[in-house]
Every structure is written in C-alpha cells, then in structure tokens.
Amino acid sequence: MEKKIYLDNAATTKTKPEVVDAMLPYFSELYGNPSSVYEFAAQNKKALDEARLTIANAIGTESAEVYFTGGGTEADNWALIATAEAYEGKGKHIITSKIEHHAILHTCEYLQKRGFEITYVDVDENGVVKLDQLEKAIRPTTILITIMFANNEIGTIQPIKEIGAIAKKYKVLFHTDAVQAFGQLDINVDELGIDMLSASAHKVNGPKGIGFLYIRKGIKIRSFIHGGAQERGRRAGTENVPFAVGFGKAVELATTTMKERTKKETELREYLIKRVLAEVPYTRLNGHRTKRLPNNVNFSFQFIEGESLLIMLDMNNICASSGSACTSGSLDPSHVLLSIGLPHEIAHGSLRLTLNEDNTMEELDYTIDKIKETVDKLRKMSPLYEDFVRRR
Amino acid sequence: MYTKKVMDHFSNPRNMGEIENPSGIGTVGNAKCGDIMRMYLDIDENGIIRDVKFKTFGCGAAVATSSMATELVKGKTIEEALQVTNKAVMEALDGLPPVKVHCSLLAEEAIHAALWDYAEKNGIKIEGLAKPKTDIHEEEEREEIVY
C-alpha cells in the first residue's frame, strides 16, 4: 500500500486540522499575554478561560480545578511530588501499581530515594489491579494512591470507581494518570472519587507539549513551577495560549464525537483481534478481552522478536509499536507485559496496534496480511521456532 | 536508525536456514534478553568452511549481523574465520547504533561456538579459540539512569 497506515495512536495522534485552525490566530495576530490589563490581551485571557472550561466540563468539574501543564508527564510529576511534600507530615507512604507509565514509576523511584515508601500493587493476568492487595496495603501513613485509568500498552481499564471508593474509605488521596483514557472513556471525577487526574492533549488530536492536572478543591498541594501568578500561582510561567486553545478545541471534538468514534474503533478492534487470533497460530492477546480501551490491540507472537516485526511492518508503510527490549532501550522487555506474567521471550514478541476513527477495514485487511507474512518469515528464521517444531 | 547495509541484510538475509548433519553448530544468547543466534558450519577435510547457515531470534541488527558474519566466513579457512571479529562485522555493515553493538559480539560468538563444537566433535584443538560464553550479556555494562 502506498499510503501510510498509522496504527500507533497511543504514541501520539494527528493534530486535527480544526485544532490547527483554532490555534493559528493565537500565534500571529492574537499574541497578547493573558496577564496584561489592556483590551488586546483580554481576548487571550478569554480564550484561555474557554479552553479550561471545555476541559473541565469533559471530566465533570469546574474550571477552577483544571491547571494547564507542559504535558501528561509534568502533570504526573507534579501530582506525586507535590502531594509527597505537602502531606509528608501525615506519612510517607504511597501506593501505585506495577504497570504504571514511567512518568509515574520513575517519579516514585525519585521519591523513594528521598525517604518515601512505595508499594507497587500487582495486577492479574489481564492487567487489572488487585483490589484486595491494594486495600491491604493501606497504612495510617499512606498519603496517596496513584493508579492509571487505562494502560498505555495493553489497554486494560482499571476499576477506577472501586479504587476511588477505597481511597475515600481510608481518607487517602487518589490520583489517576488518565493520559490514555481521557477522550476515549467517560470520566466524571466526582462519580469516580478522583482527587487528581493527569491528561495530555496530543493523545486526543491536540498539540504536543500541553496537558493538564485536575486538582480537587481543598487539596493543599503546592506549586511545582515557581514564578508568577499564572494558573492561580500553582503553575507559573506565561500561559501557552495557542496550545491551550488547541487543547480546548481537541477536547470539544473528542467529547462530541466520543460515542460514535469509540463505537467504530471498537468494531475495528474486534475485527482485528478475531482475525489475527484465528489466522496466526501461537498468538495471544495481551490485556483484558473486553475491559480495554476501544482502540487498543496488543498481541504476542511466540518465537519472534518485536523490533524485527516493527521494521518489516514499517517497510510496508505500517506504523506500530512493541514492548520488546530492543524498542525500550533496555535489556528487559516491557514491565507491563512481565507484570501480567508473560515469560521474557513472549514479552519480546509483542505488537501494539492502536487505532483511530479514520482507519478503514481495507487498511486492517492489508495490515493483517502483512502481519501473517512477516510473522511467518521471522519464524522461519527463528531458532526458537526450529526447536519448537523439532520437539513437537 | 540503521544503515542501508543493515537494512539490506535484515530484509534479505544471506545464508539463512539450516544445514543437515553440520560439521559444527553453535547457539549463543538467550531468549530472556531477546536474542538468540545459531550458526551451522559445513567444514571440508581441508578445514575450509564450505557452507554456513544461520537462524536468529532477535532485532533487526541481530539478523543483519548474523547474515553478514556468515558472508564473511563462507569459503574461508578456520584460521581466517577466527579473524572475523565483531568489529569486522560492524564495519562491513557500515556501523551499528551503540545499543546494538552487542549483536555483533553475539555474531562473533556464534561463529566461535560452532567452531568449538566442530573441534570437540573431531577431537582437535583450534589454536586461538577459547570455549565460548553462552551468554554475551554477562559482561555487558549498561548506563544506569538515576531518578
């Protein structure tokens, strides 16, 4: 196929043309600083407020609780580090899961080195956090539970409402990294008992470099970036108005199209899963069969290595990703795949395909053909497959 | 990320396959780290490597280094084959990204392992050939990032 087939929407998404159009005036003619007093700048303040309100409404809250950040990673860092500093008088214990994004896990490591204790709760074979273990891990010194809304690799959706209820029962703060879920799933912070939530614009067809942290009113965490009075003094620095406007536009589009879009993505997802599992032997689906993001598919193909698969798919104009060590820059394959109990060699052979609403059946048929061809070619090359065939 | 030569050897690997009743066979690496290489050698009575085949489970660089290593030893004497170092493999491929250098070590080691097997089978000693390590990652050091 001549055309590129983009199946890596969990990595990033295309900035929608409507989003770009909405942003453009704020780079050129409407360049004022929202903090200035003159009328010219007031338009920027207004645009910023509108974007914030759109985002706040999308998670069922009000704009005073939404703080723009430089992305999802910054929001995660802020939530964890500032909570740790603000509540260390109460205790120095934080609970998270083994399958969080590195924005959470590496921030936890940072805190651990500074005297905090972290409990990493296990997940089951589908990647669902073990709630009984989570509840048992709570101590009088626990100040925060941070569990992702949905996993970025295997797409498993966590029992957020149940976790929110547990957090409330023990009066512990609950933060969720919703970078993958935001814009794909219905989120209402009050109904789900969420105290803090991180999200990012570029995962929902917005620009890269902007995200937000929702902080429930009354939570006393402090500024992460010190300086001026922007973002109510909690996140200093002149606001990135064009990006905030783009984020607002992206969220408006994501919210209004959510039902229709996720229905289509789910259909495509199911088609892809069913065909690949039926037509490629020695293949497994990673993540929960049904409680998964509408656009996420993650397979493990036995006897082959993921990076080889990605390069060969790339040669056929298919963009995808893998949890193999070679793509993570370390010797170990994805911590998520190991946490759901996969042996190393099966984790190395993983392939993640994340869809968007513009993908077509024709694209998927082509992709499935190429997967079959490539997996077959790589297996013929694989000493592991040779040994397997011999033993059989 | 990869050179044209690496991509060429990855997409059209030379000498991929098996040899029935090989003179020597060597398997190195482990599935845990994500790469395994197996080399088959067919060595004639004059000590010339008549044929060589490989099978590899691993990344693009692992496949390409295996393929290049087979090309470099095919038709050579055992002594010449021993001179094929990981550096020679890398140079022949116009270089590898730093994180993939271990793949070329694995290729060198796989050749040595197959030669070692040949020597053992025939009760001979090959000058300059040490018993190969089964896992080259044992000695590899990696940069650790501190958070």
Interface of B with A in 117-136 (CB under 8 A): none
Average pLDDT, integer, range B134-138: 51
CB of B144 within 8 Å of a chain A CB? The answer is no
CB of A303 within 8 Å of a chain B CB? The answer is yes
In CATH terms, A5-12+258-391 corresponds, of 2.40.340.10, 3.30.230.70, 3.90.1150.10, 3.30.43.10, to 3.90.1150.10
Q: What percent of chain A has pLDDT over 70?
A: 98
> What is the C-alpha to C-alpha distance for residues A271 and A29, in angstroms, rounded to an integer?
47
Mean pLDDT rounded to a whole number for chain A: 96
Check A113 against B56: CB less than 8 A apart: no
Average pLDDT, integer, range A218-233: 92
Residues in contact with A334: Cβ distance below 8 Å, sequence separation at least 6, in sequence order: A153, A323, A324, A328, A347, A350
Confidence (pLDDT) at B145: 55
Residue A20 has pLDDT above 50, yes or no: yes
Model confidence over A62-114: pLDDT tens digits? 999 999 999 999 999 999 999 999 999 999 999 999 999 999 999 999 999 99
Chain B residues with beta carbon closer than 8 angstroms to that of A382: 55-57
CB of B10 within 8 Å of a chain A CB? The answer is yes
Q: How close B11 comes to chain A (CA, Å)? A: 8
Chain B residues with beta carbon closer than 8 angstroms to that of A329: 99
Higher pLDDT: B109 or B33? It is B109
Residues in contact with A93: Cβ distance below 8 Å, sequence separation at least 6, in sequence order: A116, A117, A118, A119, A139, A141, A142, A143
Catalytic status, residue B103: yes
**Count of alpha carbons within 13 angstroms of residue A188, beta-carbon side:** 3
How many residue contacts between A and B have a Cβ separation below 8 Å?
78
Residue B138 has pLDDT above 70, yes or no: no
Q: What fold, for B4-138? A: Sufe protein. Chain: A (3.90.1010)
How does residue B143 score in pLDDT terms, banded at 50, 70 and 90? very low
Average pLDDT, integer, range A301-310: 95
How does residue B30 score in pLDDT terms, banded at 50, 70 and 90? confident
Confidence (pLDDT) at A329: 60
Q: What percent of chain B has pLDDT over 70?
A: 90
CB of A370 within 8 Å of a chain B CB? The answer is no
Of B2, B59, B99, the CB nearest to A305: B59
How does residue A188 score in pLDDT terms, banded at 50, 70 and 90? very high
Average pLDDT, integer, range B78-90: 95
Confidence (pLDDT) at A324: 78
Average pLDDT, integer, range A202-219: 97
How does residue B134 score in pLDDT terms, banded at 50, 70 and 90? low
Model confidence over A272-299: pLDDT tens digits? 999 999 999 999 999 999 999 999 999 9
Q: Which of A239, A202, A184, A206 is nearest to A66 (CA)?
A: A239
Check A381 against B55: CB less than 8 A apart: yes
Confidence (pLDDT) at A328: 59
Chain A residues with beta carbon closer than 8 angstroms to that of B62: 305, 308
Average pLDDT, integer, range B79-103: 94
Confidence (pLDDT) at A323: 83
Confidence (pLDDT) at B144: 52
Closest Cα in chain B to A112: B147
Q: How close B60 comes to chain A (CA, Å)? A: 5
Q: What percent of chain A has pLDDT over 90?
A: 95
Q: How do the domains of chain A map onto residue ranges?
A: 5-12+258-391, 17-253
Residue A331 has pLDDT above 80, yes or no: no
Residue B147 has pLDDT above 60, yes or no: no
CATH number 2.60.40.10 is the correct assignment for the domain at A17-253: no
How does residue B135 score in pLDDT terms, banded at 50, 70 and 90? low
Average pLDDT, integer, range A28-49: 95
pTM of the model: 0.93
> What is the C-alpha to C-alpha distance for residues A322 and A320, in angstroms, rounded to an integer?
7
Average pLDDT, integer, range A229-249: 96
Average pLDDT, integer, range A153-171: 98
Confidence (pLDDT) at A359: 97
Tokens 């879009």 found at: A261
> What is the C-alpha to C-alpha distance for residues A315 and A99, in angstroms, rounded to an integer?
31
Of B16, B31, B62, the CB nearest to A345: B31
Q: How do the domains of chain B map onto residue ranges?
A: 4-138
Chain B residues with beta carbon closer than 8 angstroms to that of A314: none
Range list of β-strands (E), A58-195: 66-69, 93-97, 117-121, 142-146, 173-177
Q: ipTM score of the complex?
A: 0.89
Average pLDDT, integer, range A8-24: 97
A222: three-class secondary structure by DSSP: coil
Residues in contact with A201: Cβ distance below 8 Å, sequence separation at least 6, in sequence order: A71, A207, A208, A209, A210, A211, A243, A246, A247, A250
Higher pLDDT: A336 or B146? It is A336
Confidence (pLDDT) at A327: 62
Catalytic status, residue B33: yes
Check A110 against B147: CB less than 8 A apart: yes
Confidence (pLDDT) at A295: 98
Of B7, B34, B146, the CB nearest to A333: B34
> What is the C-alpha to C-alpha distance for residues B5 and B11, in angstroms, rounded to an integer?
10
Confidence (pLDDT) at B146: 59
How does residue B131 score in pLDDT terms, banded at 50, 70 and 90? confident
Confidence (pLDDT) at B141: 42
> What is the C-alpha to C-alpha distance for residues A231 and A112, in angstroms, rounded to an integer?
29
Q: How close B118 comes to chain A (CA, Å)? A: 19
Chain A residues with beta carbon closer than 8 angstroms to that of B113: none
